[in-house]
Amino acid sequence: MKWKRWLFKYVFLIFTTILMTFYMTRTIGTMYIEELNKEFHISNPTFLNITNNQTNSTNELLTPEKLVEIKQHMSTEDKVKIYSLITSKLPQSDIQNISSLIEDGLTKEKLNKIQKILNQYLNEQEYSELISIFSKY
């Protein structure tokens, strides 16, 4: 029974890492980032290096393959921090909802849905902590 719990935690950690990494990737549109900066009072968003022409004709911001690549570059320490924050704040149902949203890659619509879920549970400090982690990647 313990191995099932461990497996769930490991899978969830991977999922959470992918989800949070998405927020800081270069494929998010500039206007969306400016909206986040205003909402969460982020004063120095220059680490994002985003330009207006970094969009995809299919409206897909990140493919599943790109999400896996980002996850592989993230340190274990950062994954644990993200996992701890998400599991302590979000209910299981919303975690599963987010997981299903990112399963086949991310679009702007899916990102907006995920943001709404996270905004229900994370305060400004927690969100800023996540941003500081993802700004490394």
Report the pLDDT value the prediction gives residue 63, as an integer from 0 to 100.
84
Report the pLDDT value the prediction gives residue 106, as an integer from 0 to 100.
81
pLDDT tens digits, 6-61:
666 666 667 666 666 554 544 444 555 555 556 555 444 443 333 334 444 456 77
Per the CB < 8 A criterion, the answer to whether 124 and 29 are in contact is: no
Report the pLDDT value the prediction gives residue 93, as an integer from 0 to 100.
93
Domain boundaries, the chain: 1-39, 57-135
The residue with tokens 């969460």 is 40
* Percent of the chain with pLDDT strictly greater than 90: 5
Q: What is the pTM of this model?
A: 0.55
